[in-house]
Amino acid sequence: MSLPLLAPRSVFPPVRSWGVPIVTVVVAGLVSLEGLPAQCELGTPDQIAAPVAVTVGDFVGWSVAIHQDTVLVGAPERGGFAFESEPGYATVFQRENGLWTEEQQLAADPGQPFDQFGWRVALTREWAFVSTNGARLSRPGAVHTFRRGDGPWTEVAVVSPTDHDPGTRFGSPLVASGNAFATMGNQHSYVYRFLGGAWREEARLDRSSSVALQGDLLALGDGSDDSAANDAGAVHLYQRVEGAWIYRESLSIPVASLNLGRSLALRNDLLVAGADDEVVIFRRARDQWTLEQRLPREGGTPFFGSQVGIGRDTVVVVEPDFFRDTDLGGHAQVYRRVAGLWEKVRILQDPTIGGADLFPQSIAVHGGQLVGGVQSNSDEFRGWWSSFQLGEMGLSRVQDDGPSDELTIRIGPAAIGTTAVLRARFDGNPRPETLTTVNFDTDCYVILPLGVAEELAEQSIRLKAFATSPLSGEVFSSAPLEITVSR
């Protein structure tokens, strides 16, 4: 296959424009890792989306979850607090050709008014979890489990503990790993696992402030724990051994009123815990957890660290502006480990929000992607969610109204001075071919229109970028982008 079938037409910086948030809109971002000018320190969404059928008072984005190319977004208030609320719902979005598109709407069967289905959501490769808020009903809360096979998501079971009274809250927070999920109720923390064709309670532990689950490791945060000092807080770690969860150790810092553990994130050998006015990072080496670094709040609001997340090589700290009393507004701060220390490298914001909106209402992180829900007080509580790149260089397809023989690709973010090579692999040709070299001279992103020959119609193209860091000389690559050309 000859290169003229797919060839670059020009390279130019991204056009910065914002769209109406009720439909899917692609916008250019300004994010970066290191060695970048000031305008690259602010990260903005690469896509903003909401369900097609969103209505007044739905609260879309109240909860979000992400796993690979799937996003689950909760909307617990169809009709809103002040209206005749119908049963809530959750929407599945799938990333295709670099764009998030709505795939399916999930609902309780049968749903009940004010059930707040979608209060919390969680997601794995095979399972979707959606909780209801029992505090609004005269029955316990519950976790609805959905499974994806070769077809659509279908509900498998509704899980509710046997020790809960009507009107008690169960299912918040809600996290999942593989074929298991962990959550809390009014009195206990729980782990459930799908075994033998049914969901079975695997652990019932003391109630906690937060929870994180990864494989056979469970972390429970308790911000009021007094073991190290008065209200110092702690993170209690449990290991699954032969089907039973065994207490291993507690992580704490002897500082009074620190309230360590009010939020948690866990990935591989990294554990991040929110506390009052700071976030604490722990690392595991040779099966031993040690304190690695404390990230202090720098001004802003007292809600720094109310939510945390871990990316591929980044830590995300949420600082919502509940009282809307800061110039910066609600945002997420991104940290990257440089020369052994975690440094703040950018701030993520959604510039489409109004003065009465709250971003982020919720976040979820997977690999190099963050999704954040928006509580849209200025939009009659419809709500939406935003998608961000965390800093690892990526490829995305730009949705535009350009010529039918043109395919527009966005590459980035990357440090100023980075050189990247774009390669393509076509159907029937296993060997990748080099298309072009792009230079990040003045911006963290470049937009690359590619001329597409007629012979590529309805064929699959696999694009991948390989870049060289201007500071370290390290060669790194983007995740591949699969595209089917339609003419």
174-186 per-position pLDDT tens digit? 999 999 999 998 8
SS3 134: helix
Instruction: Place 329 in a pLDDT band, splitting at 50, 70 and 90.
Output: low
Give me the percent of the chain exceeding a pLDDT of 90.
41
pLDDT at 453: 75
pLDDT of residue 135: 60
CA–CA separation, 447 vs 9, rounded Å?
11
Report the CATH superfamily, name and number, of domain 38-390. Answer: Integrin alpha, N-terminal (2.130.10.130)
CA 165 to chain centre: 33
**pLDDT by residue (tens digit) across 443-462?**
777 888 888 777 776 778 88
- For residue 33, the model assigns a pLDDT of 28
Q: How many CA atoms lie within 13 A of 373 on its CB side?
A: 32
Structural domain spans, the chain? 3-11+395-484, 38-390
Structure tokens at 110: 């049968």
For residues 35 and 416, the answer to whether their CB atoms sit within 8 Å is yes
* Section 146-161 average pLDDT: 92
pLDDT at 39: 39
Distances (CA, A) of 406 to 5, 392, 450, 457: 11, 26, 5, 12
Residue 234 has pLDDT above 90, yes or no: yes
Q: Specify the pLDDT at position 367.
A: 83
CB atoms within 10 A of CB 205: 18
pLDDT value, residue 116:
86
- Asked whether the CA dihedral 246, 251, 257, 260 is positive or negative, the reply is negative
User: Once rounded to an integer, what is the mean pLDDT over residues 463-486?
Assistant: 76
pLDDT given at position 24:
23
pLDDT digits (tens, 9 = 90+) for 44-87: 788 888 888 888 878 899 999 999 999 999 998 876 654 456 78
List Cβ neighbours of 165 (8 Å cut-off, separation of 6 or more): 140
Confidence of residue 469 (pLDDT cuts 50, 70, 90): low
- Whether the pLDDT of residue 294 is over 90: the answer is yes
pLDDT category of residue 365 using cuts at 50, 70 and 90: very high
Mean pLDDT of 419-435: 83
pTM, 2 dp: 0.77
Task: Go through the chain and tell me how many residues it has.
Answer: 487
pLDDT of residue 45: 83
CATH superfamily of 3-11+395-484: SOR catalytic domain (2.60.40.730)
Measured in whole angstroms, the distance separating CA 238 from the mean position of its chain's CA atoms is 25
Six-digit token string for 218: 């469970």
Beta strands in 286-418 (DSSP E): 288-296, 308-310, 314-319, 331-338, 341-348, 358-366, 369-375, 384-389, 394-397, 406-412
pLDDT digits (tens, 9 = 90+) for 14-38: 332 222 222 222 222 222 223 333 4
The pLDDT of residue 322 is 66
